[in-house]
Structure 1
Amino acid sequence: MKASKLIIGVSLAGALLLGGCSNKSSNSSSTKVKHVGVLQVVQHPSLDKSYTGFKKGLKEEGYTDGKNIKIDYQNAQNSQDNLKSMSEKLVNDKSDLILAIATPAAQSVANATTSIPTVVTAVTDLKAAKLVKSNDKPGANVTGTTDMVPIDKQIDLLLSIVPKAKTIGIMYNAGEANSKIQADLAIKALKKAGVKAKVKTANTTNDVQQVTETLANSTDGIYVPTDNTFASASAIVGKVVKEKKIPLVAGSDDQVKTGGLATIGIDYESLGEQTGKMAARILKGKEKPADMAVEKANDLKLVVNKEMAKALGIDPASIKEPK
């Protein structure tokens, strides 16, 4: 009889112990550290700010790197080989979510996984880049924010600075899908205004100076979209246009600060922050990328490089946003 009671007591204690372990396991599972992979195509101010904003957005929603999330940041330095291997690494490491910064990075990640939730930023047109079925309802594992800017307004801004312009130069890397979309829209806006467009492309940053000099010698003004190749070499662009005294309107405010005259553009840190908050909703299990509409920038702003304006003999105060 005593032996029976002892067996029952041990059994109950074991059950309670196992029950406690089960609860502990359940609790630790719900609070486990999430792994967030990040792939950035190249290092330059706009994309760097996107990443900074992303971390800020996550933190505002309760996710801090080193605390309840672990971020694995990869920068491909504009190498296709790096993009492929780094995408595969983030997928093989079983990331809970991946952030892709810029179109080439986004396409590389999308090719590597159709299951891991992926948010992208600094991508001009997610549908045209074949990342989503539609911007309103992505339909798969990818969503994010677009950096599409009002190209027509940027062209209007340039033409307001050089109202007698007969030819405007456009330069970009034809290998970047988002850049070609913007360049085509710029050509269309110029045609509507009755101004000729002269287009030159550069495949690498090594080609940027020659392309810029060619257009600076043969046009009345230059437009460059949010192109990663030209953004990476914006200081070179700035040196050329300053020497040639040619007004340049760029796609982003960072390109203006380092090598242009003006823009009506996006704050990339703010855009990254929006993306971070989208990612947080996915990590919390509140939403799935397939159902999350692609978001646009919350605000745009006129940015003028006053130093450049003075070097070109233009009064900075005379540069205003076209109505």
Structure 2
Amino acid sequence: MKRNIAIGISLVCIVVIAGFLAMNGRPASKDTYKIGIVQIVDHTSLNTIRTTFIDQLKELGYEDGKEISIDYQNAQNDQSLLKTICQKFVSNKYDLIVAIATPSAQAAISETDDIPVLFTACTDPISSGLVDSLEKPGKNATGTSDYVPLTKSVELADRITPGITRIGTIYNPGETVSTVMIEELKEYTSKNNMELYEATITSTADTQQAVESIIDKVDAIFLTTDNTVASSMNLIANIAGKKKIPVYAGADSMVQDGALAGCGVDYEQLAIQTAQMAVEIIQGKEPAEMPVQRLEESFIFLNTSTAKQIDVTFPDDVISDATNIFE
């Protein structure tokens, strides 16, 4: 009888200890939801998305090292490394792949039809081959888009530095999204009797030569949310600043890094929206059933230090419309 009681007490203790460990966020590793985050390159916008996404997951009850396990990898703009990272995530049978920027999403989707892929900061998911449609993705992938027409920045420029007739742009033709947005810019400049000067780059090492090839021909430079270009924003702003040429960009981080102004999305809000979608997937929802989401609004960003450097004064109405003013 005493022996049976002792055994019973031991079993109860084991159950209590197991419960205590679970309550303290240390579930067995087989129960931990594994998330691989792949980022194409380092630049301010993408880094903001990643850190805000992880913070928001924690706010929503999914903390790295507890309810979930996060493996973050950066490809440093190396396509072969990007492919290797995604292959690793698939071979390790991760539960979810979070792909930051279009090249990351394309690489992840090419490696798996089964593991859910949640992308973010993908400007045109349809043209990039990520989804069948925004409303019905139809694949194992969905996510958030940062699309804002580059022409909005051109219209903003007309309020800040009117009289622009010669436009310059720099982009990586290897990024599908950039080529799509450049086509929009070509159409806009043609309709408005503007000259367009293009310079292409394939890596950040090409940036200086590209900028210098057009800087003396243009009244202003307009940049898409091209990842290679964004990684070179400081250099572009420095060269343009010395020539007193305004640079307009499609991301808040690019304005923060030296562009004069721009019109784009709030990347912190985009990351929060992406984290909310991640929770739905963690809880069992299929990506194919989840429409791609966009932020309702676009925002105006200004850089007062750059304005001072190139002798530009922001009109009062532009200042009042601005969401973020960087100094």
Superposition deviation, residue 298 in structure 1 = 4.1
Helix, strand or coil at the partner of 2:121 = strand
Does structure 2 retain, via aligned residues, the 8 Å contact 1:57–1:275?
A: no
Cross-structure match for 1:254? 253
Q: Confirm or deny that 1:289 pairs with 2:287.
A: yes
CA distance in 2, matches of 1:293, 1:129: 16
Cross-structure match for 1:116? 115
What TM-score do you get using the length of structure 1 for normalisation? Answer: 0.88
Superposition deviation, residue 193 in structure 1 = 2.1
Superposition deviation, residue 210 in structure 1 = 1.4
Aligned residue type for 2:274: T
Deviates more, 1:108-117 or 1:152-161: 152-161
Q: Confirm or deny that 1:86 pairs with 2:85.
A: yes
CA distance in 2, matches of 1:200, 1:264: 22
CA distance in 2, matches of 1:248, 1:191: 20
Does structure 2 retain, via aligned residues, the 8 Å contact 1:304–1:319?
A: no
CA distance in 1, matches of 2:161, 2:314: 14
Helix, strand or coil at the partner of 1:105 = helix
Q: Confirm or deny that 1:306 pairs with 2:304.
A: yes
Does structure 1 retain, via aligned residues, the 8 Å contact 2:149–2:181?
A: no
Q: Percent identity?
A: 39
Cross-structure match for 1:5? none
CA distance in 2, matches of 1:211, 1:84: 28
Cross-structure match for 1:244? 243
Cross-structure match for 2:136? 137
Q: 1:318 to 1:187 in 2, by over 3 A?
A: farther
Matches within 5 A, 1:7-46: 32-46=31-45
Helix, strand or coil at the partner of 1:106 = helix
| Structure 1 vs Structure 2 CA RMSD | 2.4
Superposition deviation, residue 162 in structure 1 = 3.2
Per-residue Cα deviation, 1:177-205 (whole angstroms, up to 9, x for no partner):
11111111122222222212111111111
CA distance in 2, matches of 1:280, 1:50: 16
Superposition deviation, residue 300 in structure 1 = 2.3
Cross-structure match for 2:165? 166
Helix, strand or coil at the partner of 1:246 = coil
CA distance in 2, matches of 1:99, 1:233: 24
Aligned residue type for 1:247: P
User: Gaps spanning 5+ residues in structure 1: where?
Assistant: 1-9
Aligned residue type for 2:263: I
CA distance in 2, matches of 1:280, 1:184: 36
Does structure 2 retain, via aligned residues, the 8 Å contact 1:38–1:73?
A: yes
Per-residue Cα deviation, 1:247-306 (whole angstroms, up to 9, x for no partner):
110110111111210011112122111111101101011x21001000002432211100
Cross-structure match for 1:98? 97
Helix, strand or coil at the partner of 1:190 = helix
CA distance in 2, matches of 1:318, 1:170: 27
CA distance in 1, matches of 2:51, 2:134: 24
Helix, strand or coil at the partner of 1:259 = coil
Q: 1:318 to 1:183 in 2, by over 3 A?
A: farther
Cross-structure match for 1:188? 187
Cross-structure match for 1:202? 201
Does structure 1 retain, via aligned residues, the 8 Å contact 2:261–2:303?
A: yes
CA distance in 1, matches of 2:58, 2:92: 23
Superposition deviation, residue 219 in structure 1 = 0.5
Deviates more, 1:152-161 or 1:110-119: 152-161
What TM-score do you get using the length of structure 2 for normalisation? Answer: 0.87
Superposition deviation, residue 319 in structure 1 = 7.0
CA distance in 2, matches of 1:118, 1:187: 33
How many residue pairs align between the two structures?
Answer: 304
Aligned residue type for 2:77: N
Deviates more, 1:172-181 or 1:153-162: 153-162
Does structure 1 retain, via aligned residues, the 8 Å contact 2:170–2:198?
A: yes
